[in-house]
Amino acid sequence: MPTLNSTTVTAVPASLATPRYDRSALTAGIVHFGVGGFHRAHQAMYLDRLMNTGRALDWAICGVGVLPSDARMKQVMDNQDCLYTLVVKNPDGTREGRVIGSIVEYLFAPDDPEAVIEKMASAEIRIVSLTVTEGGYNFHHVTGDFKADNPDMLHDLQPGAAPRTTFGLVTEALARRRQRGLAPFTVMSCDNIQGNGDVARTMFTAFANLKDPELGAWVAANVPFPNSMVDRITPVTTDADRAAIAGEFGFDDGWPVVCEPFEQWVLEDHFSLGRPPFEDARVQLVKDVEPYELMKLRLLNASHQGMCYFGYLAGYRYAHEVAQDALFAQFLLDYMDNEATPTLQPVPGIDLESYKRTLIERFSNEYVQDTLARLCAESSDRIPKWLLPVIRINLDQGGPIHRSAAIVASWARYDEGTDEQGSPIDVVDRLKEPLMEAAARQREEPLAFIANREVFGDLMDNERFVAAYALALKDLHARGARAALESLRSRS
């Protein structure tokens, strides 16, 4: 069976949409770090949408991989001329496929960091964008400070060192542009972090200051870091997805992307060297992203945490299984209505009641096959940013916290490493060892898990939170996830 590439794409079935533009006429205006499934279902898709109308042809993407694991993406991108299939899975079971052509080059930084730096230092590149996950910003998850003692950062800060981090590569490119009299590119974060542009500004400026204080001052004064809110559920690609594409369209795609039909991108209009006409691709350009990002982080993302641990412990393995269970769905709505929504600002143009109900519908899409294991991963990066702010605001304002505290307790119970049927749980987290060690002690020491101040800060010192957390954890141990949720419902 042929592999998808620039030659074979001309022979695909008519049911599969393909680029309507001449890819040979594209030029890269964007360098993107972190070419995973989400980027390819989101930013790259928006640009492909514009290109199909004859616009943004000088805003194609040069992808960059920094981690050793990115070598596989490099191989796929090279084999397929950077083409890939995006398949939207609708709730009624129908599928919509299209080939995305907006990525035109992929560089693997460990092989040739100089090529990556020079690409960004060239005048054609006007935006450097990022989807490097929360952990990729190198900030302390309690203090928010740049972690200057990170060994990779220490390496990149050495004079003459060949950079091996995103910080080292981007900062060296900015330094060269400054030396050559070129205006700086915009650094555009597309990660699920509150104030992602502000976080990027703080971290990149901190690195640049350590490298060269004059460069740091120049970055702070001249480089735009727009905030953004991005949303599209994009589960991990499976072998079944690859097989379905081969069977339906008659070619092999080494790394297709599957996603839900919903999409949203809210972006601050703050760029140094122009931008694509994103608004014509249904991107919301705004002056202030914060109301939208708080809505998404505290409703969608925190609800993912609300469903994944309880659901996994109860024996479910997919998000749709949990969302289609009336007990779990009502718990999520109760959390959103009573604990999350009161912490939000007004969101211009958004009907929050409709948005919350739409979330349950999105979670219930059985064809997306979003795994609970994906939602449970890297909790120590996610919970502090998405859920703990809800708890802290409600503690300050006297609002309810028992559902939020129960979500934290469900995480603690999950990190014991077995579900309620005794099956092992593969905990994936940067703090796996200390968290699992604490969870292993919590039947005798109920507060062991939340004693980790790197994750929870001073929450253990709050009697109201401790009481709600301990009650939920006791219920989980004594009666299980479903009964614990029923108890929460009765206390509403």
pLDDT-based confidence at residue 141 (cuts at 50, 70, 90):
low
- Average pLDDT in the 388-405 region? 98
Buried b (16+ CB within 10 A) or exposed e, 72-85: ebbebbebbbbbbb
Torsions phi, psi for 95 (to 5 deg): -130, 140
Sign of the Cα torsion 340, 345, 346, 347 reads: negative
pLDDT digits (tens, 9 = 90+) for 49-96: 999 999 999 999 999 999 999 999 999 999 999 999 999 999 999 999
The answer to whether the beta carbons of residues 260 and 233 sit under 8 Å apart is: yes
CA distance 82 to 73: 10
Q: Say yes or no to pLDDT of 478 above 90.
A: yes
Kindly state the average pLDDT of the residues 183-212.
Answer: 96
Region 348-354: what's the mean pLDDT? 94
288-306 pLDDT per residue, tens: 999 999 999 999 999 999 9
For the chain, percent of residues with pLDDT exceeding 90: 95
Q: Is the pLDDT of residue 142 over 80?
A: no
pTM of the full predicted structure?
0.90
Mean pLDDT of the chain: 96
pLDDT confidence band for 135 (50 / 70 / 90): confident
Please give the domain boundaries of the chain with CATH numbers for all domains. 8-286 (3.40.50.720), 290-490 (1.10.1040.10)
Contact status, residue 63 vs residue 28, Cβ threshold 8 Å:
no
pLDDT at 367: 95
Q: How confident is the model at residue 144 (pLDDT cuts 50, 70, 90)?
A: confident
